Amino acid sequence: MLLALPAILVMASCGSNHPSGDEIMERAFARHGGEYLKNLEVDFKFRNHKYNAKLVDGEFTFQNRVALHEKMEKENRAMTVTNGRMFNTSSTNSVIHFALLPYNINNSMAHKQLMCTSKIKGEPYYKVEVTFDRNGGGDDFEDVYIYWVHKENFTIDYLAYSFHINGGGVRFREAYNQREVNGVRFQDYINYTIDQDFPAQELDYAFESGLLREISRIDLEEIQVVTK
């Protein structure tokens, strides 16, 4: 009954007089940088590691500056050994993925579905579920992402996702320290989890109910952006 209640409340707030999931995420993409996100080079520091990413007409390369330059292959999750240290290309890709949200949502492999609307801390949000194709979606194609997009300014203020590696689980992230660098919006996150079985789609309810606990902070430092 505990899990059924938020689902019922969510269904009650859904209606037909809303833009589609594709339209909402397209506006969020524009709000977070739009055309700048298609062609840029960005450097930043995260947890004492320096990263570099380049986006050129959809061609994406990335680099952990401690490791060798790596070209992203969606089906390749191999470990790279450099200077006696081991780095996971999947982990590096994940750091870049969250740093440059929502660039990777704006492609044909991502399927966006408007779930409904909700309120978090009194603010109105569209809730959009994003899933990926099996073909081309990489090893993590089964992961589900939820984005809470502000209904008035179309910023992505909260997100959640479910994952299946290492036993699986869910995470909920609250954005803070929003800033723009050369037209691209960056934001840090408070990272939460929950100590009970709870669907990612309903973590806004869990957040509002005080059921989540903070486990880390996702802070980007020394951001530099060159747009083309």
pLDDT in tens, 138-175: 445 577 899 999 999 999 999 999 987 666 789 999 99
Between 161 and 56, the higher pLDDT residue? 161
CATH code where residue 105 lies: 2.50.20
Six-digit token pair at 50? 């320096």
Per-residue pLDDT band for 27 (boundaries 50, 70, 90) equals: very high
Total number of domains constituting the chain: 1
Q: Residue 71 and residue 96: Cα distance in Å, rounded? A: 12
Per-residue pLDDT band for 54 (boundaries 50, 70, 90) equals: confident
pLDDT of amino acid 74: 38
Q: Buried (b) or exposed (e) across 157-179, using 16+ Cβ within 10 A?
A: bbbbbbbeeeeeebbbbbbeeee
Whether residue 6 has a cis bond before it, omega within 30° of 0: no
With 0-12 / 13-18 / 19 or more C-beta atoms within 10 angstroms meaning exposed / middle / buried, residue 153 is exposed
Between 98 and 171, the higher pLDDT residue? 171
| Nearest CA-CA partner of 23 in 203, 201, 151 | 151
Per-residue pLDDT band for 114 (boundaries 50, 70, 90) equals: very high
pLDDT of amino acid 62: 65
Per-residue pLDDT band for 224 (boundaries 50, 70, 90) equals: very high
pLDDT of amino acid 58: 58
* pTM given for the model: 0.81
For 120, the domain range is: 4-227
| Lowest mean per-residue pLDDT among 31-40, 88-97, 183-192 | 88-97
pLDDT of amino acid 166: 64
As a whole number, the mean pLDDT across the chain is 80
pLDDT of amino acid 130: 94
